[in-house]
Amino acid sequence: MSTFQPGLEYALSLDQNDILAAYRNQFHIPKDAAGNDLIYLTGNSLGLQPKTTKAYINQELEDWANLGVEGHTEAKNPWLHYHEFLTKSMAKIVGAKPIEVVVMNTLTANLHFMMVSFYKPTAKRYKILIEADAFPSDKYAVESQLRHHGYDDKEGLILWKPSKENELASYNDLEHILNTQGHEIALVMIGGVNYYTGQFFDLKRIATLAHKQGCMVGFDCAHGAGNVHLNLHDSGADFAVWCTYKYLNSGPGSLAGCFVHERHAHNPALNRFTGWWSHNKDTRFNMRDEFDVLPGAEGWQLSNPPILSMAAIKASLDIFNNAGMDALVNKSRQLTAYFEYLIEQLNNKNIKIITPKNPDERGCQLSIQVKNANKSLFQKLTAAGVISDWREPDVIRCAPVPLYNSFKDVYLMVEKLKSVLND
């Protein structure tokens, strides 16, 4: 790890040597009332808009205006196959094979569709294991699946809890749960990067432990896609889902991604909900043929894709293609380590970073716990021009995103934090 130095001059020197620095200019940076750039550190909630997004969407609007229904085949990017324009790029980002990936629906909808296929409860094996502080919608989704199948949503839910001394989940605890209760667990469904602590879980280790006990395994990678190397294929997970509006910068409420491991690609007997977009492309428009499921992740589609949302995703994925995940992860590690260094330099006994120190166990997010603080601290920080994220009871989440955040951003954020703490 680099040895950092204090001071703004040093931060500026890091920016001058940053091979990805120019990518910041490809994004719209929110500004304050005076026209100055705000320090935007909430790409873990909503990524910034690429400047090319409007042109990508306008292309589809123009083709719709000029071609009408013929745009399905005659548009510059024919709508009939538009989701295929995203597949290879998205597969690279999440570490999967193209046959394993599709962009469709929204995040929690995809989670439910995956559980239709991979949560297969029996009288003796029906429980679902999640991390104790999972993102709320994941918890709501799995509880509703338990209820849907006739089980008690409290008795059927097993929580992987951290110890009282630590906010982070322990693999030893997970292994103990699986060794003692694995025979009752039908599905292990974990958030790949925990939204609260920023802990990046070892997906392959979890999948191996769970499969050893006969459990199906899925991951919600909403806070991982575009942030860390997920390596979904190599993880061996049965499925994964993620949104595209956080690190993937596709706009609020945009479409989501879905991964189904290659070993399930050619199993038409696998239970699923279906629609005409999961039907064989060659005979889809014959309309009266019996259902013939597509192989791979495409076989979980239901409806024709919403093109305007996909155009925004394509704009962002083209930027990712140019930058490359390896370069982004390398910068992320340096940027986050520098951020950590500056926080530690405050020497404030009331401040604790609850995100793992090990770079292999985190992405670009740092969760900063401020003892005895309340939301007024966060509000002061916002008034000072820092857009961050408050999580009750006392945590400020900040994500210095390598595509558009600078070392100067991080330096100024910590200076402003120091100021409001002393206010």
Residues 400, 314 share a domain: no
Is residue 1 scored above 50 in pLDDT?
Answer: no
Residues 102, 162 share a domain: yes
Asked if residue 58 is part of any domain, the answer here is no
Is residue 164 scored above 80 in pLDDT?
Answer: no
Ramachandran angles phi, psi of 400, nearest 5°: -75, 100
Asked if residue 384 is part of any domain, the answer here is yes
Asked if residue 76 is part of any domain, the answer here is no
Reported confidence tier of residue 372, pLDDT bands at 50, 70, 90: confident
For tokens 């603080």, the residue is: 373
Residues 309, 336 share a domain: no
State pLDDT tens for residues 61-117.
999 999 999 999 999 999 999 999 999 999 999 999 999 999 999 999 999 999 999
Mean pLDDT of the residues in the chain: 96
Residues 279, 380 share a domain: no
Is residue 12 scored above 60 in pLDDT?
Answer: yes
Lowest mean pLDDT among 46-60, 246-260, 285-299, 318-332: 285-299
Owning domain of residue 285: 82-321
289, 321, 353: which is the final residue of a domain? 321
Residues 131, 173 share a domain: yes
Asked if residue 402 is part of any domain, the answer here is yes
Provide the number of structural domains found in the chain: 2
State pLDDT tens for residues 111-142.
999 999 999 999 999 999 999 999 999 999 99
Residues 331, 316 share a domain: no
State pLDDT tens for residues 169-204.
999 999 999 999 999 999 999 999 999 999 999 999
For the domain that residue 415 is a member of, what is the CATH number?
A: 3.90.1150.10
Asked if residue 62 is part of any domain, the answer here is no
For tokens 């001059």, the residue is: 9
321, 340, 368: which is the final residue of a domain? 321
Asked if residue 360 is part of any domain, the answer here is yes
Distance of CA 380 to the CA centre of its chain: 28
Q: What residues have CB less than 8 Å from 50, skipping those under 6 apart? A: 26, 27, 28, 249, 315, 316, 319
Is residue 369 scored above 90 in pLDDT?
Answer: yes
Q: Are strands 366-370 and 386-387 parallel, antiparallel or unpaired?
A: unpaired
- Average pLDDT of the segment spanning 278-295: 92
Asked if residue 77 is part of any domain, the answer here is no
Reported confidence tier of residue 2, pLDDT bands at 50, 70, 90: low
